[in-house]
Amino acid sequence: MASFNQIINQETPVLVDFKADWCAPCKMMTPILKQVKQHFKDQVKIVKIDIDKSPAVAQKFDIRGVPTTILFKNGKNVWRQSGVIQANQIISVINNHL
């Protein structure tokens, strides 16, 4: 968990995608997050967390359903959304926190 905390405690916004391999909507997020990454390049870091492989992290952030996407800046949760989200919505949210 220390390495996860180090990742989110950055000035660069970190978008965390909480997912599971068995989750069909989670698979839909992969190309969406690729679009977001292409748009922002190095201005934002995107991290995927498998809730089955990292249950302590999922529990710490009260993940009750997947996919859940959280935007962190300086270690603070500045935005959170559950379900599939379109790239333009994510881009808009990140722009508000750059």
The domain segmentation of the chain, as residue ranges, is 2-96
Q: 32-63: per-residue pLDDT in tens? A: 999 999 999 999 999 999 999 999 999 999 99
- The rounded distance, in Å, linking the Cα atoms of 11 and 16 is 15
Type and span of the H or E element at 62: none
Instruction: Give the integer Cα–Cα distance in Å for 28 and 35.
Output: 12
The residue annotated as part of the active site, out of 7, 23, 57, 84, is 23
CATH hierarchy code of domain 2-96:
3.40.30.10
Return the amino acid letter for 22: W
Mean pLDDT of 14-21: 97
pLDDT digit string (tens) for 1-12? 458 888 999 889
Residue 28 known to be catalytic: no
**Marked catalytic residue, from 8, 14, 26, 85:** 26
- Is residue 26 annotated as a catalytic residue, yes or no? yes
